[in-house]
Amino acid sequence: MAASSVTQLTPGNHRYASLIPSLPTRPPSVLLLSSSGPLSSSPSSSSLSSSLASPRSLRVEFKTSWKRKPKPKALRVDCSAKEPLKVMISGAPASGKGTQCQMIVEKYGLVHISTGDLLRAEVSQGTEIGKKAKEYMDNGMLVPDDIVTDMVISRLSQRDVKEKGWLLDGFPRSPSQAQSLERIGIRPDIYIVLDVPDEILIDRCVGRRLDPATGKIYHLKYFPPETEEVSARLITRSDDTQEKVKSRLETHKRNAEAALPTYLDLLKRVDGNRPKEIIFEEIDSLLQQVYNAVNNKNLDEIKGKLVTNLKVTASNKDNWRGIPTRLNNIPHSKEIREYFYYDVLQATWKAVEDKRSRLKVEINIPELNPEMDVYRIGTLMELVRTLALSFADDGKRVKVCVQGSMGEGALAGMPLQLAGSRKILEFMDWGDHGAKGTFINIGSIGAREVDEQDDIFILVAPQNAVGNCIIDDLKAMTDAAGNRPVILVNPRLKDLPGSSGIMQTMGRDKRLEYAASFENCYCFRLLYYAGTQYPIMGALRMTYPYRYELFKRVDEPSGKEKYVVIATFPEKPTGDEINDAFQGKPRNKEKTTSGLWGFLSSIL
C-alpha cells in the first residue's frame, strides 16, 4: 500500500515551502489511508483480568503472505474531520530528514518546520537573529537554545499548524530543547530517527545541492538534477564542506542522542541507508498506523510496537530513562509496567539478534512477584505477551510454554503460582489479527512441544516443585530446540534436596551446570535488607549486552527519590560484592558476610 503511494509522488518542494510562500502544498483534506482495523484498547489497571485484556504490540499487518489476512482495500478518509498528525524527525546531518520530509508533506500535507531552514532564511534576510545564528552554523555548532526554541514555539502556535498538523525537522536537538516543548505540553505522536553510518553522511553532505527555485534537494551522485537548466542554478550550502560536516556530526552526537529519552515511548528508528523510496515506504506505513491510532484514540496501544522496533538498532543504554520511583507501591501504574516490559523487550531482542539461544529474564519487582501475591501472575503473563507479540510482529513463530502437571492429578507437581496459568494463556486476548494459532502457540515444557516451524520459545516461570524437578523436561526441550532461542522468564531452577522421580535421571552437578547454561539477557532486582521488603535500598539491573549496574536509592530533600549507580560488574555480583559496594569498600577485599543482602542466595 505504501509503495503504490510513493510512485504517485510528484517532485517535492516542501523543505523550503515555509520560506517560499508561492510554493503549492497538497491540501490535507483527503488522504489515502489503509483501512487496517483499530487496535485494541490498553489495559488500565494491573488486576489480573484487566492486565490481560488486550495485547500491546502486534503489527497491523503481518509481513509474509501466508500469514496475511485478506489485504484491506484503500480507504478514503476525510482528514479535516480528524486529528492532525504531529511528527518529529531526527537524525544526523544529511541522514535524509529533508528528503523524507518532502515526501511526507507531499502525502500528508503537514506543515514542515525545519529549524535549519528557518535559520538559513534569517541568515539570508540579514536579520538580527540571522547574524547571531550564522556564526554558530558556520562552525557546525548548535545555535543557542533560546533563539531556536522561540522560533519553533512561535511557528507551532500558528493556525495552519494547528489545522494541518506538524512535521518538526531538526528540533529538538538537545535535552533542554525537548524540555522546553514538554513544559508547554507539545509532544509528537511519533519520533522518527533516521540511522545512517557516518562515512555515508559525509559523502551525502559534500555532494548535496539545492535548487533555490523549488527548494528541491539534489545530490550530484545519487539524485542528479533532471535538466541542464536546473543544474545551472543549483547552490551548495555553506556548511556542506568536509570539515564543517565533521564538526556538525560531532555536535549532533553530543546533543541529539541526549534528547531521545524524552521520546523513548514514541521513538522509531528507521534505517536511513537505503533508497529514499524504501525508507519512505516504512515511514509512510508508520504514519498511517499512528494516524489511525490517534484518531481511534488508542495511540498508547501502538507505542509498544514503536518501541519494539527500537530493538534492532537502539542502544538501550543510550535511551534508558532511569529506574522508575516508588516501586514498592503496588499495583504499579501502567507506565511503570510498560517501562519494565520494554526494558526487557529491548534486551531480549538484542540478545536474540546476537544469536544467543539460551536466555533468561529475571525480573523481581513487587508487581511481577507472584510469590508475594499470586494475582501478580497476571502481570507476568502481560510481560510474556508483550515479548511474544513483539517477536510475532517480526514474523517469528513463538511458542509460549508453561509447565503442566508433573505427577498424578491435575495440579500435581505444579507450583501454586502456575496453577491455571495455561488456561490464562489460552484465554488471553492475543489481538484481532489472528496471531494466536499462527504466530503464537501455547504449549507445555518438554521435547514433544518443539515443532519444526517454531522459531522461538518463551517459557513462563519454569520452576522446580518439591519432589518434581523440571530440569529433565527442560533439557529435553532445549536439546530439541537446537540453536533456536529458548527464553526463560523468571525461572527458579535451584536444586531441590528432596527432589525425586525423573529428576534422578541426571546428577546434581549436571543439573546445576545445565541451569547455569542460560545466560541473563535481563536482570532487575530491588535490594532490601535481608528478610525485609521495606525500605528499598537499591537495585541491581543488567540489560544485555551491558554490565550489571548496582544502584543506591537516595531520598532527596524535596521528598523525591532517585537511583544512583554506585558500581558495575561484568558478572552478577554476589551478596558480599553488593555489601562492599554499598559500604564503599574496595573490590575483592576479604570480609565476613554481614547478611545484608541475604536474598541473593535465592537466585539461581
Binding residues for ligand AP5 (CB under 6 A): 91, 93-99, 114-116, 119, 136-137, 140-143, 148, 170-171, 173, 177, 204, 207-208, 217-219, 222-223, 239, 248, 275-276, 279
Least Å distance, CB 118 to ligand AP5, is 8
| Cell (9 digits) for 362 | 529475571
CA distance 540 to 4: 49
DSSP 547-570: -EEEEEEEE-TTS-EEEEEEEEES
CA distance 388 to 365: 21
Name which of 186, 169, 192 is nearest 117 in CA terms: 169
Least Å distance, CB 14 to ligand AP5, is 12
Nearer to ligand AP5, 139 or 505 (CB): 139
Nearer to ligand AP5, 114 or 490 (CB): 114
Q: Specify the DSSP element, H or E, that contains 522.
A: strand 519-527
Least Å distance, CB 120 to ligand AP5, is 7
Nearer to ligand AP5, 204 or 492 (CB): 204
Give yes or no: 311 in active site.
no
Least Å distance, CB 114 to ligand AP5, is 6
Contact between 352 and 25 (Cβ < 8 Å):
no
Q: Give the burial string for 468-496 (b: 16+ CB within 10 Å, else e).
A: bbbbbbbbbbbebbeebbbbbbbbbbeeb
Least Å distance, CB 140 to ligand AP5, is 6
Least Å distance, CB 6 to ligand AP5, is 13
CA distance 339 to 331: 14
Nearer to ligand AP5, 77 or 194 (CB): 194
Nearer to ligand AP5, 51 or 177 (CB): 177
CA distance 364 to 29: 50
Give yes or no: 297 in active site.
no
The single residue of 208, 244, 358, 385 carrying the catalytic annotation is 208
Cβ within 8 Å of residue 438, ≥6 positions away: 67, 397
CA distance 11 to 3: 16
Could you give the C-alpha distances from 458 to 381, 428, 442, in angstroms and in order?
Answer: 11, 16, 10
CA distance 470 to 491: 10
| Cell (9 digits) for 286 | 508508520
Nearer to ligand AP5, 209 or 350 (CB): 209
Q: Specify the DSSP element, H or E, that contains 513.
A: helix 508-516
Could you give the C-alpha distances from 211 to 11, 109, 235, in angstroms and in order?
Answer: 12, 21, 6
Q: Is the peptide bond before 38 cis (omega within 30 degrees of 0)?
A: no
Nearer to ligand AP5, 137 or 469 (CB): 137
Q: Which amino acid is at 285?
A: S
Query: How many residues make up the chain in this entry?
Result: 604
Centroid of chain to Cα 147 = 32
Q: Are strands 208-210 and 217-219 parallel, antiparallel or unpaired?
A: antiparallel
The single residue of 15, 86, 120, 248 carrying the catalytic annotation is 248
Give yes or no: 173 in active site.
yes
Least Å distance, CB 299 to ligand AP5, is 25
Q: Specify the DSSP element, H or E, that contains 32.
A: strand 30-34
Name which of 453, 298, 312 is nearest 390 in CA terms: 312
Centroid of chain to Cα 162 = 28
| Cell (9 digits) for 440 | 503464537
Helix and strand counts by DSSP (H, E) for the chain: 20, 18
Least Å distance, CB 99 to ligand AP5, is 3
Q: Specify the DSSP element, H or E, that contains 88.
A: strand 86-91
Contact between 514 and 526 (Cβ < 8 Å):
no
Nearer to ligand AP5, 270 or 363 (CB): 270
Nearer to ligand AP5, 142 or 521 (CB): 142
Least Å distance, CB 217 to ligand AP5, is 5
Could you give the C-alpha distances from 215 to 22, 98, 168, 212, in angstroms and in order?
Answer: 12, 10, 17, 5
Least Å distance, CB 273 to ligand AP5, is 7
Nearer to ligand AP5, 251 or 464 (CB): 251
Nearer to ligand AP5, 141 or 230 (CB): 141
Least Å distance, CB 179 to ligand AP5, is 13
CA distance 229 to 596: 78
The single residue of 59, 120, 164, 173 carrying the catalytic annotation is 173
The single residue of 26, 237, 484, 494 carrying the catalytic annotation is 237
Residues forming the active site: 97, 173, 208, 237, 248
